[in-house]
Amino acid sequence: MQVPEQVATAVSTALRAPVSGPGGIFPASQRAEAIVDAARRSVADLVGCDPAGVVLGPSSAVLLQRLADALGEAWMLGDEVVVSRLDHPGNVSPWVRAAQRAGGSVRWGEIDIETCELPAWQYDGLITGSTKAVAITAASGAVGTRPDVRHVANAARKHGALVVVDASSAAPFVPLDVLSMGADVVAVSASAWGGPPVGALAFRDASLLDRLPSAALEHGARGPERLELGPHAYPLLAGLVSSVDYLAGLDDAAIGPRRERLLTSLGSVKAYQAGLLANLINELRSMRHVMVIGDAMRRVPSLAFTITGAKAWEAVEHLAERGVCAFHDSGHNGVFAALGVGEVGGAIRVGLAHYTNAAEVDQLVRAVAELR
C-alpha cells in the first residue's frame, strides 16, 4: 500500500515536536501519553474492542511472538496448539516454537489444494481438551482466502482454547469486529493499509493482559504495557492514528463516530474491489497459459497465479517493465509449499488497493497476455 500524504505529514510533525517519556507532568511527556492513548483508541475503533486491550509494538509478528512466549510459560508436556497451512509464518512460527519448548505438539489445519479454502469442519476434530491456542488468519495475503473464523472460534471455545486471529491482510479490505469473529486476540499491521511500520494486538477481554507474564522492562506494568518492551516510536504511532482516520474517510458518505465511519468506508471498499477482482480473475482464467491459484468463495483482493513456460521471477520482471508491481514467490514456504507451487517455477502475487482502478487492472491483464 502507498502511504497517504496525511500519514507522512503526521509522522513528520510528531518528529519535529518535543516528545519525552510518559509519566511526567510537563508538556513533552503529556504529548507522548496523548499519542499512545490516541493510537490505542484508533486500533480499538478498527477492530471493535476496548482501548484498554490494545497492545502496541514494532510489528504484528513481534507482538505475536511475545504473546506466544508469555502464554507458553504455563504450557507443559502434552499440551497442543493448532495452526494452519493458510497462515503467514508470523502467526505460525511463534506457536510452533512455544509448543516445542513445552514438549507439546502442533496440529495443522489443512487447505483444499483446488480451492485454497481452509475447511472449517476439520477444526471440530483438530481442537481437543489439550489445545491451548488456535492461531488462524482472517485472510490470506497470498491467495486471498477468508476462512470461517467464527466456526473455528466456536469449536475452540468448547475446549477453552485461546483464539488468535491474524487480521493484517484483512484489515485494509473488510470491516473487522473482534466479537463477531469470536476471537480472543486480533493482530493487525498498519503497513498493510498504508500506515507506518507498527503493529498491534487487540484483546477482546482486556483483563486477560494482567493474567499474562509480563515482558515489560518496568516493574509493575499493567494492562497492555505488560507486552510492550521499551519506549514507543511516538512519531510512528501518530502516523498510525492518521492512517486509521484515512481509512475511515474513504467513503464521503461515511458519518458519525470513527468506528461507524470505518464500517461504512471499508464496506464500500469491499464492494468496489469485489467488482475489480472478479473482472481480473475472469480475464486471467480466459488465458490458456495462466493458472489462477485457488477459488475461494470469500476472499480479499489478493491473488496468485502461475504462467506456463515462465518462471515466476521472469514474469515479475516483465510486469515491472510494463509498470505493474507484483511479487514472485519461490513456492517453497507457507501456503505455496503446501500446494506444490515450487515444482512449476513459483507463483506471481498481485493485490488490489482501495485506489486501484479498472484501467490498472486492464494494464495488468495486457502485460500477462504478452507472456504467451
List the CATH number of the domain containing 33: 3.40.640.10
Q: Which of 219, 248, 277 is the last residue of a domain?
A: 248
**Domain-located, residue 55:** yes
Residues 283 and 229 in one domain: no
Check if the beta carbon of residue 317 is closer than 8 Å to that of residue 346: no
Q: Is 229 exposed, middle or buried (0-12, 13-18, 19+ CB in 10 A)?
A: middle
Give the CA distances from residue 210 to residues 152, 187, 188, 222, 226, in Å, rounded to whole numbers and listed in that order.
Answer: 26, 18, 21, 6, 7
Distance, in Å, from the CA atom of 178 to the CA atom of 129, rounded to the nearest integer, reads 24
Same domain for 214 and 262, yes or no, is no
pLDDT above 90 as % of the chain: 85
Residue range of the domain that includes 117: 5-248
Q: Which of 240, 248, 234 is nearest to 34 (CA)?
A: 234
pLDDT range class, residue 191, cuts 50, 70, 90: very high
Mean pLDDT of 141-152: 96
For residues 242 and 266, membership in a common domain is answered with no
- Residue 240, all three cell numbers: 498510525
Q: Looking up cell 494482567, which residue turns up? A: 210
228 shares a domain with 291: no
| Domain final residue, candidates 248, 278, 298 | 248
Domain boundary among 225, 248, 271: 248
> What band does 25 get if pLDDT is binned at 50, 70 and 90?
confident
Q: pLDDT tier at 3 (50, 70, 90 boundaries)?
A: very high
Q: DSSP character for 142?
A: T
Same domain, 65 and 178: yes
Q: Exposed, middle or buried by CB within 10 Å (0-12, 13-18, 19+), for 198? A: buried
Please indicate, yes or no, whether the overall pTM of this predicted structure exceeds 0.85.
yes
User: Could you give the CA distance from residue 23 to residue 146 in angstroms, rounded to a whole number?
Assistant: 42
Q: What proportion of the chain, given as a percentage, has pLDDT over 70?
A: 99
Do 169 and 244 fall within a single domain? yes
